[in-house]
Amino acid sequence: MKVELKIEGMHCPSCSMLISDALEDVGVDNSNINSETGIGIIEFDESKVSLDKIKKTIEDEGYKVK
């Protein structure tokens, strides 16, 4: 599955990297997090990780998912 999420609170490429690393740790296959646009494109296998878990992981890192 592929989703596009609006992520608020990112200020620099390090924010993007932090989110990508956290998502990888919970089983996300691929993510493209753009701190300039505030958009995250995330590809994942629903049998490995849920969309709710992905959103919670991002929020646990200190960002807000719209």
Domain ranges across the chain = 2-65
Q: Per residue in 42-62, pLDDT tens?
A: 999 999 999 999 999 999 999
Can you tell me the mean pLDDT for 3-27?
97
Can you tell me the mean pLDDT for 29-41?
97
- Write down the pLDDT at residue 36: 96
Where does the pLDDT of residue 41 fall: very low under 50, low under 70, confident under 90, or very high at 90 and above? Answer: very high
Q: How many of the other CB atoms lie within 10 Å of CB of 62? A: 11
* Cα–Cα distance for residue pair 18/48, rounded to 1 Å: 21
User: Given phi > 0 = left and psi -120 to 50 = alpha, else beta, which region is 6?
Assistant: beta
Q: What are the two backbone dihedrals, phi and then psi, of residue 31, each rounded to the nearest 5 degrees?
A: -145, 145
Domain 2-65 has CATH 3.30.70.100: yes
Contact 41, 1 (CB under 8 A): no
